[in-house]
Amino acid sequence: MLYAEDYKRGEFLVQMKNEQRKVKNDCGVELPDNLPNALTLLPLLDDREFLEELVVRMYIPALEIMVKEFETSRIALKTKVRKKKQKVIIQEDMKNKNAYQFALQATLSVLQADYQVSTYKSQEIKADPLSSFLPNCEGSCATTNEPVKIN
């Protein structure tokens, strides 16, 4: 959701898979952070504090990023790049080019309404939003440049 292909995403995926497995939420062949899998996890979590922190620090920021991609300027830039780099047909006159836009906006609105965003916004945010989710990170999961010895 938030880490693209950064190594932290791998750590996040491992923890999400563990959480999905704990509540027996079958993700099928999709990754555990796939939006439908992530959303179906929410009602299965018993720990309300963990649930709220996960939604406020991970889900809401990820959805905000997704929704921003539908801003007129972002769509115009993507259209320009597609026209230049690829041979694509773009229906210019379509008012709503992507039906997912409204589903994502609605999901974001529901999560913002249902979870106490202010509870976590007012607290000091740790350097790494995953520090409480990932074990042994102590605020950072940075690795050293030391070579790993494999026997």
The b-or-e profile of 34-72 (16+ CB within 10 A means b, else e) is: ebebbeebeeebeeeeebbbbbbbbbbebbeebbeebee
Whether the pLDDT of residue 134 is over 60: the answer is no
pLDDT tens column, 33-76 = 999 999 999 999 999 999 999 999 899 999 999 999 888 888 77
Q: Are 51 and 42 in contact (CB under 8 A)?
A: yes
**Phi-psi category of residue 4: left, alpha or beta, with phi > 0 → left and psi -120 to 50 → alpha:** left
Would you state the pLDDT for residue 30? Answer: 94
pLDDT tens per residue across span 74-97: 877 877 887 777 766 666 655 666
CB-based contacts of 150, cutoff 8 Å, min separation 6: none
Instruction: Using pLDDT thresholds of 50, 70 and 90, give the confidence band for residue 123.
Output: very low
Contact call for residues 132 and 11 (beta carbons, < 8 A): no
Q: In the numeric block, which tokens belong to residue 29?
A: 């062949």
Each domain of the chain, given as residue ranges in start order, spans: 1-34, 47-121
pTM: 0.67
